């Protein structure tokens, strides 16, 4: 009886579970079919790209000379001889030129070098202008409140010598973002090296490819609680009183040290003109709601001071300008930022080397010396859009501007420094063979057998979702399109910065102060020491300091380190 009952229960259990087992079987069959489909897909991809990974890559690269051990020994010995000839120039720097590549990470420098080498034929052997400088350093870029810097806080560090809160400029950590009342407290203000130069009776100026009120250039003259407050309407939009809070454009034209700059060049006409004034180039109106035309106010100010001043807004006017008869120069070459070099109208927009040349011609008339900031600002904007060709082209152009500055100055009296404010998540990936286009395919995945580009981003708008469960085949994309977005691993509407250290390169008097690893806030104090400006330690300062630190003047005006027994 018990056995019969058990058999009946077992039969009922089988009847109840049979549909579930059949469903599981169907799922298993479906998964097997999908797996077979994936395997067939991978197999086809593997066969399609197998040839690209076959054979010796060295044999397929068209080298001019065989790079055997003799070649590399010769190159190393030549490099060693050059390094052994490096001697510090321990004299006062009459002039200081600071080049700032916005967002110019180490990977950006490497990729730009290779891209330039593709055009010159030197490929990986190419050097950018600053890579031949005798001294270099590593710079730490974190801010007072963030592991990853923005251009506002970093500008305060490398121009004013103070690390502060992200999004604020020319103020210390006591000023939080959008705190207008704290912004007005002079005890919280940080003064830039440009102000130190002006206090020392020297000339100052800046050149940028961004708006002249953008974060980097604002670092030399503004004290602002929010980098977005470039004009009064931005302050009003945040619910604050624009009459009480001076915007960045006002501070540039009306306050010191901004009104004393002998050179101001970049874009950004919209933040200096009223909302009822049509732009000279574009069919758009200015942004200012207070009715102030700051361009006209700049012209009137210089006229009242009896100085020779020129305002230009296009390339032809700049190149036609007689800089020998120009004491103050205002050049605004864009309604907003200037155009990328790969999209620029050469009739309307001057290049960064051309602006650098004009700036130096104006500033070099001052026998006391000068400070000039030159920013390659569109490097950063290209990276924010994952448009790497734009970012690298801007880097190459900045290198050309550096070469112009070096050719127009002397290493005996001019200190030239090149650095960046922060990084971007650009990486150089895979194992591309030598002489591979840096913008092209770098390698093939051993997992899905699909290609990927040499250059990739950690985040940004270049993120590409899977299609039918597979990565897109980037070999079908137009990788040479200047607006092509290289792939990113995390989707963002605008790529975020990175917190990695950046490089610094220096040549000229006291360039040897830039070796090792330093805080970003160290930079302006080292520049000030070399130029004998500011209220900190200076080369021209106390003999007691120099004696205590073992620095003795030699007969040739240089110094040597005292041997300690």
Active site residues: 151
Burial status of residue 546 (CB atoms within 10 A of its CB: 0-12, 13-18, 19 or more): middle
Region of 519 on the Ramachandran plot (φ > 0 left; ψ -120 to 50 alpha; else beta): beta
Q: Are 290 and 296 in contact (CB under 8 A)?
A: no
Burial status of residue 328 (CB atoms within 10 A of its CB: 0-12, 13-18, 19 or more): buried
Cα gap 70→91, rounded to integer Å: 40
DSSP character at residue 142: -
User: Residue 183: how many CB atoms within 10 A of its CB?
Assistant: 24
User: Residue 98: how many CB atoms within 10 A of its CB?
Assistant: 24
**Beta bridge partners of residue 284, listed in sequence order:** none
User: How remote is the C-alpha of 381 from its chain's centroid?
Assistant: 8
Q: Are 128 and 104 in contact (CB under 8 A)?
A: no
User: What are the backbone dihedrals phi and psi of residue 560, each rounded to the nearest 5 degrees, phi first?
Assistant: -135, 155
Relative orientation angle of helices 388-408 and 106-120, to the nearest 10 degrees: 80
**How far from 236 is each of 168, 170, 239, CA to CA, in Å?**
17, 21, 5
- Beta carbons within 8 Å of 131's beta carbon, 6+ residues apart: 109, 113, 505
Cα gap 290→274, rounded to integer Å: 7
Q: Compute the CA torsion angle 293, 299, 304, 309 (nearest 10 deg).
A: 170
DSSP character at residue 104: -
Q: What one-character-per-residue DSSP string does 481-526 give?
A: -TTPPPPEEEE-SSPPEE---EEEEEESTTGGGS-EEEEGGGHHHH
**Beta bridge partners of residue 137, listed in sequence order:** 504, 516
Burial status of residue 367 (CB atoms within 10 A of its CB: 0-12, 13-18, 19 or more): exposed
N- to C-terminal Cα separation, the chain: 109
Q: Are 207 and 268 in contact (CB under 8 A)?
A: no
Residue 295: CA atoms inside 13 Å, Cβ hemisphere, count? 24
For residue 221, which of 265, 251, 264, 254 has the smallest C-alpha distance? 251
Region of 252 on the Ramachandran plot (φ > 0 left; ψ -120 to 50 alpha; else beta): alpha
Relative orientation angle of helices 523-531 and 151-160, to the nearest 10 degrees: 30
- Beta carbons within 8 Å of 296's beta carbon, 6+ residues apart: none
- Beta carbons within 8 Å of 75's beta carbon, 6+ residues apart: none
């Amino acid at each position: 009886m018990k056995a019969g009952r058990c058999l009946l229960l077992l039969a009922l259990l089988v009847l109840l579970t049979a549909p579930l087992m059949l469903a599981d079987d169907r799922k298993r069959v479906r998964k097997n079919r999908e797996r077979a489909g994936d395997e067939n897909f991978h197999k086809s991809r593997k066969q399609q790209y197998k040839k690209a990974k076959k054979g010796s890559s060295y044999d397929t690269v068209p080298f001019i000379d065989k790079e055997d051990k003799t070649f590399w020994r010769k190159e190393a010995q030549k490099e060693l001889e050059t390094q052994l000839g490096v001697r510090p120039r321990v004299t006062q720097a009459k002039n200081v030129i600071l080049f700032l590549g916005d967002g110019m990470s180490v990977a950006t420098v490497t990729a730009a070098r290779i891209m330039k080498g593709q055009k010159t034929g030197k490929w990986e052997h190419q050097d950018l202008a600053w890579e031949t400088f005798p001294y270099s350093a590593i710079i730490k870029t974190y801010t007072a409140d963030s592991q990853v810097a923005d251009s506002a806080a970093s500008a305060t560090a490398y121009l004013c010598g103070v690390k502060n809160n992200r999004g604020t400029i020319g103020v210390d950590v006591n000023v939080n973002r959008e705190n207008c009342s704290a912004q007005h407290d002079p005890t919280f203000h940080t003064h830039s090296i440009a102000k130190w130069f002006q206090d020392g009776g020297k000339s100052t100026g800046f050149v940028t490819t961004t708006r002249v009120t953008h974060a980097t250039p604002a670092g030399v003259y503004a004290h602002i609680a929010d980098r977005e407050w470039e004009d009064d309407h931005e302050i009003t939009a945040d619910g604050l009183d624009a009459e009480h809070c001076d915007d960045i454009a006002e501070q540039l034209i009306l306050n010191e040290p901004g009104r004393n700059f002998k050179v101001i060049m970049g874009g950004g006409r919209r933040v200096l003109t009223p909302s009822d004034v049509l732009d000279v180039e574009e069919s758009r109106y200015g942004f200012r709601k207070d009715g102030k035309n700051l361009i006209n106010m700049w012209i009137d100010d210089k006229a009242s001071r009896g100085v020779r001043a020129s305002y230009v807004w296009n390339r032809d006017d700049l190149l036609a300008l007689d800089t020998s008869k120009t004491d103050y120069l205002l050049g605004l070459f864009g309604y907003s930022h200037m155009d990328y070099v790969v999209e620029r109208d050469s009739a309307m927009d001057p290049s960064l080397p051309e602006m650098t040349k004009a700036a130096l011609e104006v500033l070099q008339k001052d026998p006391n010396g000068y400070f000039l900031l030159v920013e390659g600002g569109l490097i950063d904007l290209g990276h924010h859009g994952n448009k790497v060709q734009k970012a690298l082209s801007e880097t190459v152009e900045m290198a050309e501007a550096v070469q112009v500055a070096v050719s127009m100055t002397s290493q005996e009296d001019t200190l030239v420094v090149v650095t960046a404010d922060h990084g971007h998540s650009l990486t150089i990936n895979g194992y591309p063979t030598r002489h591979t286009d840096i913008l092209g395919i770098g390698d093939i995945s051993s997992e899905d057998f699909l290609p990927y580009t040499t250059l990739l981003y950690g985040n940004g708008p270049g993120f590409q979702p899977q299609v039918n469960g597979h990565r897109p085949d980037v070999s079908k994309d137009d990788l040479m399109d200047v607006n092509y977005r290289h792939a990113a691993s995390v989707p963002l509407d605008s790529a975020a910065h990175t917190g990695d250290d950046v490089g610094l390169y220096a040549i000229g008097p006291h360039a040897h102060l830039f070796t090792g690893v330093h805080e970003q806030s160290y930079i302006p104090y080292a520049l000030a020491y070399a130029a004998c400006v500011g209220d900190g330690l200076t080369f021209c300062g106390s003999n007691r300091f120099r004696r205590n630190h073992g620095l003795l003047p030699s007969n040739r005006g240089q110094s040597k380190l005292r041997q300690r027994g």
